[in-house]
Amino acid sequence: MEQRDVLIIGGGITGLASAWWLARGGLSVEVWEANERAGGKIMSTRQDGYLTERAASMVLNFRPEVAELVREAGLEPAKTSRLPAAEARRYLLHQSSLKALPMRMGAMMASPLWSLRGKMRLLAEPFIFSSGRPDETVSEFITRRLGREVLEKAIEPFIAGTLAADPDRTSAAAALPRLTALEQRYGSLAAGVMVNRILRRRTACTTDTFSFRCGMGTLVESLARTPGITVRTGYSADELAREPDGGWRAAATTPQGRQVLSARHVIVATPAPAAAALVAHVDGELAELLRGISYAAVTVVHAGLARDAVGHPLDGTGFLAPRGESAILTGNLWMSTLFPDRAPPRKVLLTSYLGGVRAPQVADWSDERLADETIGALRPLLDITADPEMIRIDRHSEALPVYHGAYQARMQAITARLKQASGLHLEANYRGGVSVRDRLARSHAVANQILAAQQWPSVERKRCVVSGNSDGVVAQPGVIY
């Protein structure tokens, strides 16, 4: 039976990044991926000259460990930054038309998006001294602090568009941890933002929005090629058991037949249902906690059009759609405005996100209906005068875990169960955030934990130091899928 320092089950972004950090620390690492390719949902595709992203389309980063991984993995030359035109504005669908979404308080007070009552309620936030329950929903938290209008016009489309979830059921502490932490620490969101801005000026960590010239697939492909990491595709893990010496034994069905491996540490980096099936014979209570995590389906529709067929200037990142404005469409990214080489010359690439908890029925629609409904919704908003020349559809039946219910209590219970199973680690997007930034940061943390706990003194390691807290919050759709 083969042995490794660490076995990682699941070759998506979390599994590959964890493997990268561990291999960099000098450990032998093997990754088992059930599919024919590693990378999980992240994949870039060229079609008719358009570069589309199956899932995450960019990284919005402010964490030093993420910048370190990109730099040390040799990915800096492949990076591409957001184009200046995309920095101009973000839009919100409001009363059946697109309105620029103000990002600063002064512009917000002058914006027609908000009523006078809504603006006055927003200005009152620093003087609200109440605090919510530990299991408060996003809707309850935002309404209490900022008012109902901010919830309906800004936060609901944010939660639906970036997390595919329902703010009426989503845990505020899980989905908006930075905001809830500001209230806990400073008593006010406004006061917390002001203090953080002052403190940020003293640090070298700045926000960086980027992708890669050949798409986000560059990231996972590069990590999978890291020396010291063995990536096995077509390896479907179906058994996990504790060894008498305290280590772990795992078995998988593979194209070469049954394979068994022994490891001191095992990271299960699969979606919650697959993780539950693996740990069921190890810890039934842990498996039950994992089975209680629900997922939302998301469908991504990419449309390529001639530039002169789109009347809107496309002078921003795209738009989000509140549920009162769109029953099925949660957001739309203007990819050819965001990054270079996403569309041929004189063409544009528009990427739409449909479904989620708001419209689960979309998952059952035919490709033809998806295309018709999407272009039908975009046509009046963007002044589209011709049919697309390219349509690509990516379906995700389990796109994102929804942080519904008493989610933080569930995560705390999972952490408590893992303390009783030394060497077993669960890391996937149901823990600590769903964006690429969050996954890279969490992989860094689990690698630190293993490097600190393992007992092979002959191995030289480059120790990693994690700073800050993962937040799970992103600025636009497409960062997280």
Residues 247 and 330 in one domain: no
Place 113 in a pLDDT band, splitting at 50, 70 and 90: confident
Q: Are strands 59-61 and 208-212 parallel, antiparallel or unpaired?
A: antiparallel
- pLDDT for res 25: 93
Indicate which CATH number applies to the domain containing 243.
Answer: 3.50.50.60
Residues 162 and 302 in one domain: no
User: End of a domain among 375, 401, 427?
Assistant: 401
Mean pLDDT computed over 190-211: 70
Number of structural domains the chain divides into: 3
Q: What is the 3-state secondary structure (H, E, C) of the chain?
A: CEEEEEEEECCCHHHHHHHHHHHHCCCCEEEEECCCCCCCCCCEEEECCEEEECCCCCEEECCHHHHHHHHHCCCHHHEEECCHHHHCCCEEEECCEEEECCCCHHHHHHCCCCCHHHHHHHHCHHHCCCCCCCCCEHHHHHHHHHCHHHHHHHHHHHHHHHHCCCCCCEEHHHHCHHHHHHHHHHCCHHHHHHHHHHHHCCCCCCCEEEEECCCCHHHHHHHHCCCCEEEEECCEEEEEEECCCCCEEEEEEECCEEEEEEEEEEEECCCHHHHHHHHCCCCHHHHHHHHCCCEEEEEEEEEEEEHHHECCCCCCCEEECCCCCCCCEEEEEEHHHHCCCCCCCCEEEEEEEEECCCCHHHHHCCHHHHHHHHHHHHHHHHCECCCCCEEEEEEEEEEEECCECCHHHHHHHHHHHHCCCCCEEECCCCCCCCCHHHHHHHHHHHHHHHHHHCCCCCCCCCCCCCCCCCCCCCCCCCCCC
pLDDT one-digit tens code per residue, 268-285:
999 999 999 999 999 999
Residues 267 and 307 in one domain: no
Instruction: Work out the percent of the chain whose per-residue pLDDT is above 70.
Output: 92
Mean pLDDT computed over 45-58: 96
Lowest mean pLDDT among 231-235, 322-326, 371-375: 322-326
pLDDT one-digit tens code per residue, 448-474:
999 998 654 333 334 333 333 333 333
Q: Is residue 70 part of a domain?
A: no
User: End of a domain among 200, 224, 257?
Assistant: 200
Structure tokens at 58: 């960019």
Lowest mean pLDDT among 12-21, 89-98, 201-210: 201-210
Residues 307 and 289 in one domain: no
Place 477 in a pLDDT band, splitting at 50, 70 and 90: low
Q: Is residue 409 part of a domain?
A: yes
Structure tokens at 50: 């358009």
Residues 278 and 343 in one domain: no
Indicate which CATH number applies to the domain containing 364.
Answer: 3.90.660.20
Residues 18 and 50 in one domain: no
Q: Which domain holds residue 227?
A: 2-42+216-293+403-453
Mean pLDDT computed over 372-376: 97
Mean pLDDT computed over 28-53: 97
- pLDDT for res 104: 73
Q: Is residue 466 part of a domain?
A: no
Q: Is the pLDDT of residue 106 over 80?
A: no
- pLDDT for res 460: 37
Residues 258 and 321 in one domain: no
Q: Is residue 476 part of a domain?
A: no
pLDDT one-digit tens code per residue, 1-32:
789 999 999 999 999 999 999 999 999 999 99
Of residues 71 and 178, more confidence is placed in: 71
- pLDDT for res 481: 45
Single-letter amino acid, residue 58: M
Q: Is residue 207 part of a domain?
A: no
Of residues 71 and 102, more confidence is placed in: 71
User: End of a domain among 144, 168, 200?
Assistant: 200
Lowest mean pLDDT among 202-206, 217-221, 399-403, 431-435: 202-206
Residues 391 and 410 in one domain: no
Place 184 in a pLDDT band, splitting at 50, 70 and 90: confident
Residues 310 and 320 in one domain: yes
Nearest to 218 by CA among 334, 30, 53, 349: 53
Residues 177 and 145 in one domain: yes
Residues 289 and 316 in one domain: no
Q: Tell me the average pLDDT of the chain.
A: 90
